[in-house]
Structure 1
Amino acid sequence: MAYSFRSDRATELEFSTSELTGALGDSVTVLPLLVALAATTSVSLPHVLVGFGVFQIVWGLYYGLPLSVEPMKALVGLAIVGSLSYPELAAAGLLAGGVLLVVGQFGLVGRLQRVVGEPVVRGVQLAVALLLLEAAVGLSVDAPVVALGGFAVVAAFALVGYRQASVLVVLALGGVAAVATAGVPTPRVPTVGVFPAGTPAFTGPPLEGTIAQLGMTIGNAAIATALLCGDLYNRDVSADSLSKSMGATCLAAVPIGGVPMCHGSGGLAGKYAFGARTGGANVLLGLGYLALALVTAGALLAAFPVALLGVLLVVVALELGRAAFAPVSDGRSLALVIGVGVLGLAVNVGLAFVLGAVAFWWLSRGE
């Protein structure tokens, strides 16, 4: 059974089984990252889920498309591995939101992408993937049997062609284990307030993280997503429009306890692959996030097996690493990707991004 109505901006919004399964395509990487973030920082998971729920619905209705709404992976990844505290993550989200709003308003996204260079952006993706792998080892080492069981589930589902769904299965198993330990939480409406999880801290790390994140966001969440809107849905959505909507999302969500969010080409492709064709998928997923926010309690999160979080982070890291190498077609670009990635792991993602951009500019002078 499918229900639908017209959206003034674009397409008909449908509410069907395919829209529901398509909605899951955007949650495969979102939920593991949010659970890991809440387990390793002072973030309030219910407030974060409210932010995701609201803006899934907002942008699904606004664009009439199943646009992805996902965490800014560089910033959230740095927070998970301890390079950013939550107050620093909040500050970085506000900085990124302000920049995205301005550059989108003045049509500067395409120009910025050409200056940074795609290999540098891919290198930042690789650096975050390596950092997530490092964090996964730390989470899994104390309970190797649980971790191996989680990897066995992932492998089994991958062998039968449901690799992405395996992440949700592992997450569900961890949730069942947490409920068995902590009990079923009483539904509770998240408190309303400004910066409920901590006041933003505008120090050095947020600026470095923001610089690194903007390269990924401009390349993947703005330009690549705009191209996919045309390729998959035959819709003309500009990269600058996406930049403005991401900026508005960050500036509105972070003060109420959310995290920096962006659109993403991977999430959009995931929704399409699982059957989503309209913004109805966003509405369904947004309602799901809002419902989950009502029953997510601190005790439940504390009881979630951290070794399974390690498994989830490995899957996310491998997907991010695959995306980093997929478009590389020549040796020079490959060297830049690996160089930025390894330097980001060994030293600092922000420094690796800046040095990579300088190297890209130097190597491109003669072209």
Structure 2
Amino acid sequence: MAYSFRSDEQTELEFSASELTGALGDSVTVLPLLVALAATTSVSLAHVLVGFGVFQIVWGLYYGMPLSVEPMKALVGLAIVGSLSYPELAAAGLLAGGVLLVVGSFGLVGHLQRVVGEPVIRGVQFAVALLLLEAAVDLSLGAPGIAVAGLALVCLLALLGYRQSSVLVVLALGGVAAVLAAGVPAPRLPELALFPAGSPTISGAALEGTVAQLGMTIGNAAIATALLCGDLYDRDVSADRLSQSMGVTCLAAIPAGGVPMCHGSGGLAGKYAFGARTAGANVLLGVGYIALALIATGALLAAFPMALLGVLLVVVAIELGRAAFDPIPFTDRRALALVAGVGVVGLVVNVGVAFVLGAVVFWLLSE
């Protein structure tokens, strides 16, 4: 079967201060998650950053707009908390990529969204948020004083109106501390290798994570992002087309040492809110990621304060949890209960079981 990809005829590029700040709007949740993933698994941060850099540029130029490229949060979150090893994460990402490519090619994205139900997808988001919060507490216990100071700084910046930028400030402080402890690394290119951090491993946990992630990806990264492309940038981009590009991204990046990636409505909205209006933001961010990859050594990562990493995960967890409940009206008690129920089951049992049970309950309630 042939897969055709149409490139936009006109790609507007602008390199300005607003495009640069817009690029940072997409990195607010990306960088903390990547640093946390690299600190808790065998993944190579340098290879991951190169993957993000390349595909920021590729999809920005292809779609002709500042489209977001983010980690698949359910899978990456499960890896951070230890539910998935990197080989299992890689396998889950390849499976998800293959499904997204096929589903998008046959125009099935909308059908799958209707079958699963938005409250179930939001519940998976909430479950990942709870798991990240649990991991954040564990990381912070090693140096509670540093964690409290980091949280105080985040709260202060939020009160001053810099809530979204606060994680970048904490990340920068952690980076400075790591450089002071480990020294300035000599820039070097990541080695070219097939699956440099470990070959994919299929397991029950990987399959469960894949199913849960696909629900989130179809709802948030495909359908919601397609709507935002029209609302914010007046671009007609179909959810099926986004599904195809996400599939291509996963299938190409993971063998080279990357992680599962997707587009995301949150990242797209963040770019717009911070001033990005053209694909120039993607080019700037892509170059920035690749530049960071040159100095992302294991020694530097090992010197990063784990308590500050816990602070970063707290902020990411809160944002992810808030995003899970925001779209649901307060009057829709049934949907709110389903989101909360799926989240709690995901925390206590696992996300795969929570997703399946939630889908069954949603189907029964819809009858």
Residue 334 of structure 1 aligns with which residue? 336
1:10: how far off?
3.9
Question: 1:351 is matched with which residue: 336, 353, 356?
Answer: 353
Equivalences for 1:36-115 in 2 at 5 Å? 36-115=36-115
1:290 aligns with 2:316: no
5+ long unaligned stretches in structure 1: 1-6
Residue 140 of structure 2 aligns with which residue? 140
Residue 366 of structure 2 aligns with which residue? 364
1:335: how far off?
0.9
- What is the rounded CA distance, in whole Å, between the counterparts of 1:11 and 1:298 in structure 2? 37
5+ long unaligned stretches in structure 2: 1-6
1:327-360 CA-partner distances (Å, limit 9, x unpaired): 1220110111011000000001001001100110
Equivalences for 1:156-167 in 2 at 5 Å? 156-167=156-167
Please say if residues 10 and 63 of structure 1, whose CA atoms lie closer than 8 Å, have aligned partners that are also in contact. Answer: no
Residue 225 of structure 2 aligns with which residue? 225
- What is the rounded CA distance, in whole Å, between the counterparts of 1:113 and 1:79 in structure 2? 25
Counterpart secondary structure, 2:287: helix
- What is the rounded CA distance, in whole Å, between the counterparts of 1:63 and 1:257 in structure 2? 25
TM-score (norm 2): 0.97
Residue 176 of structure 1 aligns with which residue? 176
Letter aligned with residue 21 of structure 2: T
1:295-340 CA-partner distances (Å, limit 9, x unpaired): 1100000000000000000000000000011112201101110110
1:11: how far off?
4.2
1:9: how far off?
3.0
Residue 30 of structure 2 aligns with which residue? 30
Letter aligned with residue 203 of structure 1: S
- What is the rounded CA distance, in whole Å, between the counterparts of 1:309 and 1:234 in structure 2? 37
TM-score (norm 1): 0.97
Letter aligned with residue 208 of structure 1: E
Taking every aligned residue pair, what percent have the same amino acid on both sides?
82
- Between the two proteins, the alignment pairs up a number of residues equal to 359
Counterpart secondary structure, 2:294: helix
Please say if residues 11 and 61 of structure 2, whose CA atoms lie closer than 8 Å, have aligned partners that are also in contact. Answer: no
1:8: how far off?
5.0
- What is the rounded CA distance, in whole Å, between the counterparts of 2:361 and 2:223 in structure 1? 22
1:27-84 CA-partner distances (Å, limit 9, x unpaired): 0000000000000000000000000000000000000111110000000000000000
- What is the rounded CA distance, in whole Å, between the counterparts of 2:121 and 2:256 in structure 1? 29
Please say if residues 22 and 276 of structure 1, whose CA atoms lie closer than 8 Å, have aligned partners that are also in contact. Answer: yes
Please say if residues 26 and 270 of structure 2, whose CA atoms lie closer than 8 Å, have aligned partners that are also in contact. Answer: yes
Residue 186 of structure 2 aligns with which residue? 186
1:142-172 CA-partner distances (Å, limit 9, x unpaired): 1011001111111111011110111000000
Q: 1:357 to 1:10 in 2, by over 3 A?
A: farther
